A and B are shown apart, each in its own frame.
Chain A
Amino acid sequence: MEKPRSETGLAWQRFTSDRAALAALWVLGALYAAALLADVAAPYSLKDESREHPYCPPTAIHLLAPDGRLIGPHVRGMAMAYDTFRRRVYRATPEVYPLRFFGKGEPYRLLGFLPFDRHLFIVDAPGRVYLLGADSRGRDIFSRILHGARVSLTIGLFGVIISFGIGLLVGGIAGYWGGRVDDVLMRVCEMVMMVPGFYLLLALRAAVPDSLDPLQVYAAIIIILSFIGWAGLARVIRGMCLSLKERDYVLAARTMGLTDMEIIVRHVLPHTISYSLAAVTLAVPGYILGESALSLIGLGIQDPYASWGNMLAEAMSIVRIQFAPWILWPAFFIGITVLSFNVAGDALRDAWDPLLKGRGEST
Chain B
Amino acid sequence: MSPNPLPFPARQRPAVSFALLVVFFAVLPVLLSALNISLSLGTEILIIALFAVSYNIVLGTTGLASFGHAAFFGSGAYAVGIAQQYGVSGAAVSLVLAFAAGLIAAVLVGALVMKKRGIYFGLLTLAFGQMFYIVALRWDDVTGGETGLTGLQRPTPFGLNLSDHTTFYYFILTIFMAALWVIWRITNSPFGSLLAAIKSNEVRTQYLGYDTARYKLAAMAISGAFSGLAGGLYAWFQYAAYPQNLFWIESGNIVILTLLGGGLSSFFGPILGAAVFVGAQDLISTYTERWMFFFGLIFILVVTAFPNGLPEAMSRLLSAFRRIFRPAAAPSSASAAPIRRTTP
A binds B: no
Interface residues of A (CB under 8 A from B): none
Give me the interface of B with A, judged by CB distance under 8 Å. Answer: none
